[in-house]
Structure 1
Amino acid sequence: MPLPARMTRLPKESVANVSQIVTLDKALLEERVARIPQRKIDLLLAGIEIVLGR
């Protein structure tokens, strides 16, 4: 899913790929680098549900 730089405030255009999910320890996260609008989060979650076969 495209994540435009102007929408997320990331330094460049980005993509979220719901078919390549990884986990990591929350302690490794140092700072918030972007904000994703709720409508995009809802679409990402729907995509994850599809990938998981739910």
Structure 2
Amino acid sequence: MTVDADTLFEPNAIRRLIEPFNDPRIGAVAGTQVVSPPRRPPCGGFTPAWRDMFH
């Protein structure tokens, strides 16, 4: 699993992501990305500016 440093998960997200692998025909899965309004991180604001370049 690959995520960004500021990723937040729903409580059952990991369980839901690995569940499809019970089927041997499944080779990859993906979740749904929801972009929240930017907030100022402890590092001083670089993260929201960087995120805005790509979203």
TM-score (norm 1): 0.28
Higher relative contact order (CA 8 A, sep 6+): 1
Structure with the higher fraction of residues in helix conformation:
1
The structure that has the greater radius of gyration is 2
TM-score (norm 2): 0.28
Structure with the higher fraction of residues in strand conformation:
1
